[in-house]
């Protein structure tokens, strides 16, 4: 069961896609901004000059570009720059964390439904349809409100739970179109098990729509978390950009910078993810490529 | 044939509603706080079993979960949405007014945004990669990526606090006792900013859908054939392309109702509008279990019926849909 029996079609497809992505300046811009943000997120503890929780008494609502406080302080004397840098890290953690769980659920449900078909397919897809009728943000607000402790990990889990049906449907449709292809037949004739065929033969070839959808979903997850935190329904102990915007709400006129900087970071993050997602769609999707 | 399809589609609504409400019901029970506990605590009485147990029995909360669900469902069918332990009110009494506010907001925003999205989306798709298309696409992506709560705050800052053009919050001036046309003008002044912001947000979303749907259709062979027949460009675009592009657009509009309602949750909260969205957030804060349950049920019904309506509309618009 060495790698040489797996089709190399997938690899050449990736090289081609990468070339197309580089050609698209807009997508490249999105990807570059995102990489910078991810680096800032990784090195947040080093880049943040202070602990974002630390309150400087007597130094409340200090304007930006002041000595010691690059982006000023908020109404309780917390350093906005430190808060934004660590908040960015939280957003990325939430976005990619929820994506990982979503992909797992979608591959499992979509994979089983698409490959095994029949009654299982019908049942799983009807269930997905039903979950899709409940608007994600509304289901999310309902779910987290009943938690005794609103921890970030639980919020991440719920986000994946409310969003998986869309991806599962795409996975299922892709598997249906791939499972009768000659390279899968070839593997089947070699006597591989269904699970092995699914994981080693089919999954690598359906990754492109999953990546496109996943990139756009990360943007959604980041917005969901920021919105929940802004509304006061996020994890109250987390350092979240939504919480900082909410703190700045009461001092909107006198200290605009408190809500401005975190909001700009959320926007740039979501914007870069959407640019990258659109670019990837053009680079990978056969349908819009014509 | 068409009748059979519509009947089948209507029949599918029942299991969908049953399973969706069952999901919400179980989710709320997974980690919910005890409603009786909340009720006793808010009334200031001591938390003794002598007080709690009879109350639990009275509201049927001592029964197994599925019995409670069936009980709730039967009441729902009778139009009884339950009693809120937190606000001490019948939900059915307070919900209709809130639905009206949300519908007013969402429908106005939808009509404005859909009209512009259809117009601009078609132009952008026809003139693909032109300066206009690029500008519109970037603007749509820009607006689409903005956190809505931030846009709301900036709008309040700019239009209400700095320019003084619109009121800061609420759906009418409290204590003004206006009537007739004066009330209407006052109400419109309150709604224009939230409706305007929602329109922009939806426009960005719908524009992207219309443009990509049109682009897909414009690549089809029958468009090439229509052009080859020597038809005028406007006939090709409006009679052949747009008609076919409309089908996925109708479906998209119905599916987007969830997105649309999510937007109104944020905007209603920021602008203090007493609609469904703000009610949801307040109920979530107070852990008002009955209110959350009935709100979700109402919202799910709205989405399910919007989807049903879209499917039936598509069945009429597209002769290929036959079951």
Q: How far is B32 from chain A (nearest CA, A)?
A: 5
- How far is it, in rounded angstroms, from Cα B13 to Cα B305? 8
The complex's ipTM works out to: 0.86
Q: Strand, helix or coil at A246?
A: helix
Q: Strand locations in chain B, DSSP E?
A: 83-84, 89-90
Contact A142 B16 (CB under 8 A): no
Q: How far is B245 from chain A (nearest CA, A)?
A: 15
State whether residue A136 sits within 8 Å of chain B by CB.
Answer: yes
The token pair at B159 is 């239009």
Residue in B19, B142, B307 closest to A271 by CB: B142
- How far is it, in rounded angstroms, from Cα A108 to Cα A114? 10
- Rounded mean pLDDT for each run of 10 residues along chain B, 323 residues in total: 79 88 82 66 71 74 82 86 80 88 90 91 90 90 92 90 81 72 81 91 90 85 85 83 80 77 90 91 87 89 86 75 53
CA dihedral B69, B305, B208, A31 (to 10 degrees): 10
Which residues in chain A (253-272) have CB-CB distances under 8 A to chain B?
253, 256, 259, 263, 266-267, 270-271
pLDDT at A290: 29
State whether residue A124 sits within 8 Å of chain B by CB.
Answer: no
State whether residue A287 sits within 8 Å of chain B by CB.
Answer: yes
Q: How far is A24 from chain B (nearest CA, A)?
A: 13
B306 to chain A: nearest residue by CA?
A: A133
List the domains of chain A with CATH numbers.
7-284 (1.10.3720.10)
What pLDDT digit, counting tens, does each position of A81-105 carry?
A: 999 999 999 999 999 999 999 999 9
pLDDT at A225: 95
DSSP A265-277: HHHHHHHHHHHHH
Backbone angles phi, psi at B64, to 5 degrees: -60, 160
Contact B31, A148 (CB under 8 A): yes
- Rounded mean pLDDT for each run of 10 residues along chain A, 290 residues in total: 47 72 81 94 93 88 86 89 95 96 95 89 90 88 84 92 91 86 84 84 83 91 95 92 92 89 95 89 56
- How far is it, in rounded angstroms, from Cα B300 to Cα B17? 7
Neighbours of B182 (CB within 10 A): 12
Q: Considering only CB atoms, which chain B residues are within 8 Å of A222?
A: none
Q: Strand, helix or coil at B128?
A: coil
pLDDT at B319: 66
The token pair at A279 is 């670019």
pLDDT at B232: 83
- How far is it, in rounded angstroms, from Cα B38 to Cα B26? 19
The alpha carbon dihedral of A271, A276, A279, A280 has a sign of negative
- How far is it, in rounded angstroms, from Cα B188 to Cα B156? 16
pLDDT at A5: 45
Q: What is the mean pLDDT of chain A?
A: 86
- How far is it, in rounded angstroms, from Cα B222 to Cα A272? 36
Q: Considering only CB atoms, which chain B residues are within 8 Å of A129?
A: 16
- pTM for this predicted structure: 0.89
Contact B5, B315 (CB under 8 A): yes
pLDDT at A285: 61
Residue in A146, A231, A270 closest to B281 by CB: A231
DSSP B57-116: HHTTTTS-HHHHHHHHHHHHHTT---EETTTTEEHHHHHHHHHHHHHHHHHHHHHHHHHH
Closest by CA to B271, choosing from B285, B258, B281, B260, is: B281
Residue in B24, B142, B147 closest to A263 by CB: B147
Contact B285 A233 (CB under 8 A): yes
Give the mutation candidate from A123, A142, A165, A289 for the B interface (greatest B CB count, under 10 A). A142
Q: Considering only CB atoms, which chain B residues are within 8 Å of A133?
A: 16, 20, 300, 303-304, 307
The token pair at B100 is 């009206």
Contact A245 B153 (CB under 8 A): yes
Q: How far is B179 from chain A (nearest CA, A)?
A: 33
Bridge partners (DSSP) listed for residue A79: A73
pLDDT at B322: 53
């Amino acid at each position: 069961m060495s790698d040489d029996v797996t089709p190399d079609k997938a690899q050449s497809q990736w090289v081609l896609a990468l070339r197309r992505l580089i050609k698209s300046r807009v997508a490249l811009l999105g990807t570059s901004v995102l990489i910078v943000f991810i680096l800032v997120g990784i090195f947040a503890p080093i880049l943040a000059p202070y602990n974002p929780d630390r309150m400087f008494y007597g130094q409340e609502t200090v304007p930006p570009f002041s000595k010691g406080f690059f982006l000023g302080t908020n109404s309780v004397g917390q350093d906005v720059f430190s808060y934004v840098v660590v908040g960015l890290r939280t957003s990325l953690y939430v976005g990619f964390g929820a994506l990982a769980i979503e992909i797992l659920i979608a591959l499992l449900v979509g994979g089983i439904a698409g490959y095994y078909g029949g009654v299982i397919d019908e049942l799983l897809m009807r269930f997905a349809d039903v979950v899709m009728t409940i608007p994600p943000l509304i289901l999310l607000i309902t779910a987290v409100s009943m938690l005794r402790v609103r921890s970030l990990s639980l919020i991440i889990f719920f986000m994946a739970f409310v969003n998986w049906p869309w991806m599962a449907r795409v996975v299922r449709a892709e598997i249906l179109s791939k499972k009768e292809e000659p390279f899968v037949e070839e593997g089947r004739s070699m006597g591989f098990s269904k699970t092995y065929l699914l994981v080693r033969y089919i999954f690598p070839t359906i990754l492109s729509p999953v990546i496109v959808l996943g990139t756009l979903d990360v943007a959604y997850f980041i917005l969901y978390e920021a919105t929940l935190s802004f509304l006061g329904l996020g994890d109250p102990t987390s350092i979240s950009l939504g919480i900082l915007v909410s703190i700045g709400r009461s001092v909107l006129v006198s200290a605009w910078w408190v809500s401005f900087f975190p909001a700009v970071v959320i926007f740039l993050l979501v914007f870069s993810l959407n640019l990258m997602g659109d670019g990837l769609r053009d680079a990978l999707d056969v349908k819009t490529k014509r | 044939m068409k009748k059979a399809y519509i009947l089948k589609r209507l029949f599918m609504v029942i299991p969908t509603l049953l399973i969706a409400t069952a999901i919400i019901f179980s989710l709320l029970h997974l980690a919910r706080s005890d409603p009786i506990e909340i009720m006793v605590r808010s009334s200031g009485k001591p938390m003794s079993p002598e007080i709690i147990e009879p109350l639990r029995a009275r509201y049927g909360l001592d029964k197994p979960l599925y019995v409670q669900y069936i009980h709730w469902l039967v009441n729902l069918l009778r139009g009884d949405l339950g009693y809120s332990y937190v606000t001490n009110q019948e939900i059915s009494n307070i919900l209709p007014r809130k639905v009206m506010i949300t519908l007013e907001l969402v429908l106005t925003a939808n009509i404005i945004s859909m009209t512009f999205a259809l117009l601009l989306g078609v132009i952008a798709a026809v003139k693909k990669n032109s300066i206009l298309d690029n500008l519109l696409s970037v603007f749509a992506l820009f607006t689409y990526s903005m956190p809505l709560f931030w846009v709301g705050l900036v709008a309040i800052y700019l239009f209400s606090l700095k320019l003084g053009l619109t009121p800061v919050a609420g759906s009418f001036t409290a204590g003004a006792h206006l009537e007739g046309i004066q009330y209407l003008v006052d109400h419109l002044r309150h709604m224009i900013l939230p409706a305007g912001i929602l329109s922009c947000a939806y426009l960005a979303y719908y524009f992207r859908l219309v443009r990509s749907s049109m682009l897909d259709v414009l690549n089809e062979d029958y468009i090439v054939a229509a052009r080859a027949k020597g038809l005028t460009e406007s006939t090709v675009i409006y009679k052949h392309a747009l008609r076919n592009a409309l089908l996925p657009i109708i479906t998209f509009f119905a599916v987007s109702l969830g997105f649309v309602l999510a937007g109104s949750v944020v905007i209603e909260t920021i602008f203090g509008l007493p609609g469904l969205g703000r009610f949801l957030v307040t109920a979530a804060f107070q852990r008002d279990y009955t209110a959350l349950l009935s709100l979700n049920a109402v919202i799910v019904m709205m989405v399910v019926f919007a989807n049903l309506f879209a499917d039936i509309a598509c069945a009429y618009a597209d002769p290929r849909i036959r079951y």
